A and B are shown apart, each in its own frame.
Chain A
Amino acid sequence: MTAAAKPRTEILISGFGGQGVIRMGQILGLAAIKQGHRVTMLKSHGTETRGGYVRAQLVISPDYVDSPVVENADVFVAFSAPAYKKFFDHCRGKILYDPEMVEDVRAEGPERHVAVPATQLAKERFNNVLFANMIMLGALTRLSGLDYEAMKKAMLEVIPRFHEQNLAALDVGYTLPALIPA
């Protein structure tokens, strides 16, 4: 390891417990590792297993990551209104939010906000909100220009069941028309 400058990417994902926040971070992290990056992921949550806030802080870097704390996120994924409010100031880059969960969006930086209707799409396409996190991950992959194939591979490794639906959900997010540059 060296103390030389190193580009680091900070990603912050937060929402309620049970929304698959940690799973999303895990897949993202593993995909980065498969491509030879170094990754840290801090996860923090309230004491309750379901319902409280859950946060995953990922740092991806080509070299050893010193501080694992996300202080200025390049991407912030907000799955809930409290999470959006709590961590808005920790982000200086893009904010992906689920408009069904986060209704009041701050006025500043409209160009940074990207609405991904993950919950709504999950309900429509799969009749199950549990797939919202994969739709969001697909969208994040597109938006951040990450390797889609690596993401799919990592997803299959991390998630034990329902591979076909999850792949389909990932695809829904990745091919979201609003995100594809004209």
Chain B
Amino acid sequence: MALFKAEKKAPKGPAGRWDVVIGEDMCKACGFCLSVCPVDVFAYRKAPNKIGWFPMYTAHEENCIGCMLCYQICPDFCIDVSVKSTAVATV
């Protein structure tokens, strides 16, 4: 059993209802969020941020299933995941 999952699954259930916001300027590119995410949401930027790292960004927000693992594991307080305001309206 491993902490990180190399293979991403296809999103099931309540995907697409989440806002995934990354503070890219404070990201130190540890890669924890990308590795812990069970689906395919994150990707590295190709240009460095102002503190010199190639930060993570939300590449596929629509895949997010709201498991909050990235929020829990981010060591630099960068990531916030919240219910999309439009989604709230439909629930």
CB–CB under 8 A between A and B in the complex?
no
Q: Which residues of B contact A (CB under 8 A)?
A: none
Binding site for B on A (CB under 8 A): none
